[in-house]
Amino acid sequence: MKVQGVTAEYIKALQAAGFKPDIDDVIAAKVAGVTSQFIQQAQSHGFKNLDLQKIIQLKQAGVLE
């Protein structure tokens, strides 16, 4: 996790956004560039009740960029 730049604050931000990620999800989200701001942006565009994997897929697909 250290190599990918995952910090305790990053995990807490994912948890604060309503996710209960496992280690693999945390690393995948970090590598994909998912931030709490991206999660908020996705939710404001109507993407609600998505699991973290779907949020990662949105980020990778560049849907909101």
pLDDT along the chain (65 residues), means of 10: 92 95 96 95 92 96 88
The CA distance from 65 to 18, in Å, is: 23
- 3 falls within a domain: no
Give the domain range for residue 52.
8-61
- 19 falls within a domain: yes
Residue 10 confidence (pLDDT) = 96
- 37 falls within a domain: yes
The answer, as to whether pTM is greater than 0.85, is yes
Residue 48 confidence (pLDDT) = 87
- 30 falls within a domain: yes
Domain count for the chain: 1
Residue 2 confidence (pLDDT) = 86
- 2 falls within a domain: no
Return all residues near 2 (Cβ < 8 A) that are at least 6 apart.
Answer: none
Residue 63 confidence (pLDDT) = 86
- 14 falls within a domain: yes
- 15 falls within a domain: yes
Q: Is 59 exposed, middle or buried (0-12, 13-18, 19+ CB in 10 A)?
A: buried
